[in-house]
Structure 1
Amino acid sequence: MSQSAAVLSRHQKAALMAPALQPLGWQLIELDNFDTDSLGSFAGERPRFMSPYECALRKAALAAELSGLDVGIGSEGSFAAGPYGLGTYNLELICCVHISQGWAVTGRFYGPAQAQQWQIQTLSQLDAALASVPAGQHLLLQQGGYLQKALSTEKCRTLASERLALGELQLSYDLRAHLSPERQQHIALAAQNLAERLQSRCPACATPGFWPDIAIAGLPCESCGAPTPLTAQKQACCARCQHQQYYPVPAQYAQSQYCPECNP
């Protein structure tokens, strides 16, 4: 059955989501008449005052409200240190709300990402940094209160060479979706996850989004059998009727290094 959905974005995200949702019969309409940077920006000139999930949900609700459609979609990305503080990880959330049916489903991607930053003092440092930038990735140039966005490597080289006469500057990836090829790939994967979740319905009430997101600890130690902090099973819980189901993880035992009894 055909379903029209509004996507709130000024960065061409609807085109990234469409391949995953079109097989479900969904037609996406991008709304670009709302300044999504007002909810927080990557460059930091507008601080973020909501969590990534809250922001994605807010955008989805706004998409439905501004379009007059039943279904609204909002997307939000964030970057932070990876597990154990290693590397940088990108979290992409795509929230879909259905106003008349009263549900919200959120697809997600979480994985390693490039989000480079450099402190540049010399032309040789500038050339080395720009040589490492992947094709299509745009850049931010900052120096005190000076900020330029959406710079190609060529334009960045010209501006940065001029600004270096005034002192050190900071160069970083422009991580807005339409200017970051890697992030575009991650948004497409989050959209695929959203499509899968939309098709996964609660066995009790048929509400979409019945998904084993909740990790239940207690995987037994391989040496002594004591419960460990590792995940023993996953739980799915319906947001509407609270129906629950449990799913075992592939592992049967945890290595003893994770056991609080064997390694107190």
Structure 2
Amino acid sequence: MEEHPLKMRSAYAGSCFVLTTKHAKSIAVASPFWDKLKASMVEYPMDTDLLGTFTGEVERAGNALECARLKCDWSLKRLGEKVEFALASEGSFGPHPFIPFVPCDHEILYFIDRRHGFHLHMSHLSPKTNYCMKAVDSLEDLQTFAGAIQFPSHALILRPNDRDTKAPLFKGVDSQAALEEAFKECLKHSSEGKVWVETDMRAMFNPSRMEVIGELAAKMADRLATHCPKCSFPGWGKIRVEKGLKCSSCRSETDLVKLEIFGCVKCDFETIHGRADRLTQAEPMHCGYCNP
């Protein structure tokens, strides 16, 4: 008989999570943690830009996962041993790995639980982003770009197009007047007569990104609310996958996921499941033999 994960009273009910952020991410994270875990959240404001900025003034220290963990470590070190639960997120943007010509938002949420003695991180890949950039040479071109990326609800960043020119740099541009002023000022400093404009991907200036962070926070809260069927420890969930879903035509193994393995963050108990979408075979288009 298959053992099922347990839904018990939240192990975090009445607790307070510390979220290390400079960009108001509790707007997205706090609600699902309260709804699913009955845990409150407080922001610990730190200058996380020291670990890297989207505009490149500071190169990111390590990869996204390492950066998210370092943010948690910062708050735990500075706030002391009485803090039991630390959270931090990190995002990156670029081409979608599976959908051609579509940009994506890849978010990571890192959690350190001192009370129960474990670390947990989860990621979420979403095409729900306005991530975009362009060199423009007129206000008309700029207005077209701004309209396409949901300005002014989503802010913009502007600077001279010749990237060696570090200043002026305008971030968080979210009004028509500020947009026109920033464009004119950047144009004065551009030897090429063009202005570089890009979406401001900081969470507090980008509602689309904030929504994706919220989706990931809900997944994390769900996992922390799920207990191991063997030892009743919180944090039960998918820990890895096994590829090799067979082609429906030639029965060769493909690179698609065949099985999902769920496990405990504390004990060594695991269960093996089929794909969540119940797919049992791959289309020939995904097969290296049928579609080389």
TM-score by length of 1: 0.91
Q: Which segments of structure 1 move beyond 4 Å, counting only runs of 4 or more?
A: none
Q: Which stretch shifts more, 36-45 or 122-131? A: 122-131
The answer as to 2:149 corresponding to 1:137 is no
Separation in structure 1 between the aligned mates of residue 247 and residue 146 of structure 2, nearest angstrom: 49
Separation in structure 1 between the aligned mates of residue 254 and residue 185 of structure 2, nearest angstrom: 58
Offset at residue 190 of structure 1 (A): 1.0
Spell out the pairing of 1:92-107 with structure 2 (5 A cutoff): 92-107=107-122
Task: Report if the CA contact (8 A) 1:40-1:49 is conserved.
Answer: yes
The answer as to 2:235 corresponding to 1:209 is yes
The answer as to 2:26 corresponding to 1:10 is no
Offset at residue 58 of structure 1 (A): 1.6
Secondary structure in 2 matching 1:15: helix
Aligned counterpart, 1:157: 180
Q: Higher helix fraction: Structure 1 or Structure 2?
A: 1
Separation in structure 1 between the aligned mates of residue 274 and residue 253 of structure 2, nearest angstrom: 15
Task: Report if the CA contact (8 A) 2:28-2:210 is conserved.
Answer: yes
Deviations 1:38-84 (A, max 9, x none): 11111111101221111112212222333331111111111121024
User: Greater relative contact order: 1 or 2 (C-alpha under 8 angstroms, separation 6 or more)?
Assistant: 2
Question: Which one of 152, 162, 172 corresponds to residue 198 of structure 2?
Answer: 172
Percent of paired sites with the same residue: 25
Deviations 1:102-151 (A, max 9, x none): 11222432111211111012232223222333141111111221112111
Q: Structure 2 unaligned runs (5+)?
A: 1-12
Aligned counterpart, 1:125: 141
| Aligned residue identity for 1:16 | A
Spell out the pairing of 1:222-237 with structure 2 (5 A cutoff): 222-237=248-263
Offset at residue 263 of structure 1 (A): 4.2
Q: Structure 1 unaligned runs (5+)?
A: none
Task: Report if the CA contact (8 A) 1:140-1:173 is conserved.
Answer: yes
Q: Which stretch shifts more, 142-151 or 120-129? A: 120-129
- What is the RMSD of the two structures over their aligned residues, measured on CA atoms? 1.9
Q: Which stretch shifts more, 103-112 or 188-197? A: 103-112
The answer as to 2:280 corresponding to 1:252 is yes
Separation in structure 2 between the aligned mates of residue 181 and residue 47 of structure 1, nearest angstrom: 24
Offset at residue 86 of structure 1 (A): 2.5
Task: Report if the CA contact (8 A) 1:256-1:262 is conserved.
Answer: yes
Aligned pairs, number: 263
Separation in structure 1 between the aligned mates of residue 256 and residue 186 of structure 2, nearest angstrom: 51
Separation in structure 2 between the aligned mates of residue 74 and residue 263 of structure 1, nearest angstrom: 42
Q: Which stretch shifts more, 36-45 or 222-231? A: 222-231
The answer as to 2:53 corresponding to 1:31 is no
Question: Which one of 189, 197, 215 corresponds to residue 189 of structure 1?
Answer: 215
Task: Report if the CA contact (8 A) 1:63-1:74 is conserved.
Answer: no
Separation in structure 2 between the aligned mates of residue 172 and residue 71 of structure 1, nearest angstrom: 35
Task: Report if the CA contact (8 A) 1:120-1:168 is conserved.
Answer: yes
- 1:42–1:227 CA distance, 2 compared to 1 (3 A): same
The answer as to 2:84 corresponding to 1:61 is no
Separation in structure 2 between the aligned mates of residue 207 and residue 52 of structure 1, nearest angstrom: 27
Deviations 1:6-52 (A, max 9, x none): 111111112321110112121111111x2111111111111012211
Task: Report if the CA contact (8 A) 1:230-1:254 is conserved.
Answer: yes
Offset at residue 221 of structure 1 (A): 1.9
Aligned counterpart, 2:125: 110
Separation in structure 1 between the aligned mates of residue 159 and residue 181 of structure 2, nearest angstrom: 14
Task: Report if the CA contact (8 A) 1:61-1:73 is conserved.
Answer: no
Separation in structure 1 between the aligned mates of residue 254 and residue 146 of structure 2, nearest angstrom: 46
Task: Report if the CA contact (8 A) 2:130-2:149 is conserved.
Answer: no
Q: Which stretch shifts more, 206-215 or 47-56? A: 206-215
Separation in structure 1 between the aligned mates of residue 87 and residue 16 of structure 2, nearest angstrom: 11
